[in-house]
Amino acid sequence: MNLGRIFRGVAFRIWLPFAVALSISILALGVYYPRVQENLFLRVTEQKFTELARATALSVELSIDRDAFASLAKSIEVTTKSNSFAFVAIVQRMSDGTEQIFAVNPPETPAPVVLRRDGRGLLYTSAPFNTPDLKGSVILAASEEKLSEDIRTLNLPVYRTLGVILVLSLFVVALLARALSHPIKTLTGFASQLRTGHYSVATPSRPYATELKELQDTLVELRDSLSAARLGNDEINRKLVVARDAARDADRAKSAFVANMSHEIRTPLNAVLGLAHLALQTDLPPKQRDYLLKISRSGRTLAGIVNDILDFSKIEAGALELESIPFSLGEVLEQVDAITGEAAREKGISFSITGTDHAKTLFLGDPLRIQQVLVNLTGNAVKFTHQGGVRIDIERRESSAETVSLAFRVCDTGVGLTPAQMEKLFRSFSQADVSTTRTYGGTGLGLVISRRLAEAMGGTITVESVAGQGSVFTFTTRLRLSVEGASVRGSSPPAEHRARLQGRRLLVAEDNEFNQEIVRELLERSGAKVVIAGNGAEALQTLERDPAFDLVLMDVQMPVMDGFEAARRIRQQPALARLTVIAMTANVTVEDRKRCREAGMNDFVGKPIVPDRLFEVAARCLAPAPSGAS
């Protein structure tokens, strides 16, 4: 039995105060009533003894007058037959004032006890008598012990009656408490069933008082409501599951669509940019060179838009990954100056970088993402600045033995922003002013992506601006310091990269004819010997016939056999396993790069191909050429 549960129960809590009150009342009555009974008994006894003493005194007077002493002795003996009396005595008062016992019963009663009359253990009553020959008093003494015993005997039925009353009262109160608590317990159990989701539980059928009946009706209504709500929730949950699965399918379809569109856009774009690059390396009339330069810039702009859309898709899917490699901040700033600084100078505005004391420091981080953020911010600044210039201020804010916090402030003297425009500046697919889309172009993703990238690198992007007075965008990031002497990717100049390709035999697996032509010419201009394969199967056949190649550039999406399968088969053949395989593809998502590594590829070059990047990756994967190699 769970006593704690009983003591916490409604019935016990109802019964307990009544039981305490009844017990106190019965106890008080058990103390008060016997005391009253005792006092009344003593008064009545004392009055009776007094009357008896008077009657005995009268008998004494009559007996003395008639000289009937035998009758007097008999009277005293009869009086003392009551158990309550200790003794009965006739005391004569002498002429000198002293007292002398004339008669006493029982006869052995000591004279000092008779004459003392101080009440120690005895209750004394007396009555005087007076005759011409004899004067004195009749003394009756009762035993207090016997009187107390008589009182206890008298009170015993009272105690028994009170005890019975107490037991019956507690029992009645217990029945009453149970009668009150039972419906509450029943309704509580009913509510508990509802709480645990058992909405089919039967309604309590016992009739209750008005208030409990109202509670029962309310619980029944709640049960019906919850049952209906559960049915509705089950339907909603079913629809949510369907919607979730549909959303996942849509997300997978979106990712597949973005990847496919990326491939479909980047493949021809690679041909446009590659052929423009090759054409610009030839002797051209000024007008044709201008056309090709504009084609190249427009292609790079389109490539940037495609990159923004892919980056946004990766960020939204939580698939953004950052590199942590040694790099020189100076090289990142050189790239920013080459991209947006050149655009600023062509527009006729100034472009400068201050605070370059950290340019020679080696950091650990993702230089391409830092460059992407700075290019985005400075590109916007150049776009919206028509007079004056754009400046990057670099300052160190916090540093420790292992990390440093850098702030890049991109300041411009452009059109500026209003507070309302700044509120929606970092919203996806939104620009400060809808009209600027027509005037300046853009997708509205650059700043959103930049802020997300900054947050991923432990920093943020804030803006201060006044309409008509320019803007200041502050990009902060926390970088780890690289150990002294760490190699920095891309630290060698492009000419050295191209020099490492001199005389090397390279196999290019590419199905697009334009891309075959571009890659071949780029590599051959660097002194490499290039063999082309139209798909993965042809590449394997070529390698099996002649495995003496220094490097394989492998497109990923090809007919007959794709680049993933071809790379796996190369790794499975001991004679070919030593070869370095570089993925060369328009699919540049994190998943694609992961698949390339899992297939056994050593590095990754995205399309559209940037020549310097291609040379850098190829040179890094190639061992230095032996002395005298042709």
pLDDT of residue 315: 66
C-beta separation of 559 from 579 below 8 A: no
Q: Looking at per-residue confidence, does 311 or 363 come out higher?
A: 363
Residue range 548-566: mean pLDDT, rounded: 91
Q: Long-range contacts made by residues 249-253, C-beta under 8 angstroms, separation at least 24?
A: 251/317
Give phi and psi for 404, each to the nearest 5. Answer: -145, 140
The CA R_g of the chain, rounded to the nearest whole Å, is 58
Highest-scoring range by mean pLDDT, 218-227, 432-441, 456-465, 589-598:
456-465
Count helices and strands (H / E) in the chain.
Answer: 19, 16
Q: Is the pLDDT reported for residue 290 higher than 70? A: yes
pLDDT of residue 83: 56
Helix (H, G, I), strand (E, B) or coil at 627: coil
Domains along the sequence of the chain with CATH: 3-163 (3.30.450), 324-481 (3.30.565.10), 494-621 (3.40.50.2300)
pLDDT of residue 507: 94
121-136 tens-digit pLDDT: 777 788 888 877 778 8
Q: Is the pLDDT reported for residue 426 higher than 60? A: yes
Q: Is the pLDDT reported for residue 400 higher than 90? A: no
pLDDT of residue 630: 41
Q: Looking at per-residue confidence, does 36 or 444 come out higher?
A: 36
220-251 tens-digit pLDDT: 666 667 667 667 777 788 888 888 888 777 76
pLDDT of residue 412: 93
Residue range 319-327: mean pLDDT, rounded: 75
Residue range 57-66: mean pLDDT, rounded: 69
Cα 500 → chain centroid? 56
Least trusted range by pLDDT, from 6-10, 382-386, 617-621: 6-10
Burial of residue 3 (CB within 10 Å: 0-12, 13-18, 19+) is: exposed
Highest-scoring range by mean pLDDT, 5-14, 129-138, 354-363, 549-558:
549-558
Kind plus residue range of the DSSP H or E element containing 617: helix 611-621
The helix-helix angle for 590-599 and 563-572 (nearest 10°) equals: 30
What sign has the CA pseudo-torsion 368, 374, 376, 378?
negative
C-beta separation of 472 from 465 below 8 A: yes
| Of 571, 581, 577, 576, residue with least CA distance to 605 | 581
- Please, what is the average pLDDT of the chain? 77
Residue range 21-34: mean pLDDT, rounded: 76
pLDDT of residue 505: 92
pLDDT of residue 552: 93
Is residue 77 very low, low, confident or very high in pLDDT (cuts 50, 70, 90)?
Answer: low
pLDDT of residue 446: 74
Percentage of the chain surpassing pLDDT 90?
Answer: 12
The helix-helix angle for 367-383 and 329-336 (nearest 10°) equals: 30
Helix (H, G, I), strand (E, B) or coil at 85: strand
Amino acid letter, 575: A
Query: What predicted TM-score, i.e. pTM, was given to this entire model?
Result: 0.49
Residue range 336-355: mean pLDDT, rounded: 87
564-576 tens-digit pLDDT: 999 999 999 988 8
Q: Is the pLDDT reported for residue 194 higher than 60? A: yes
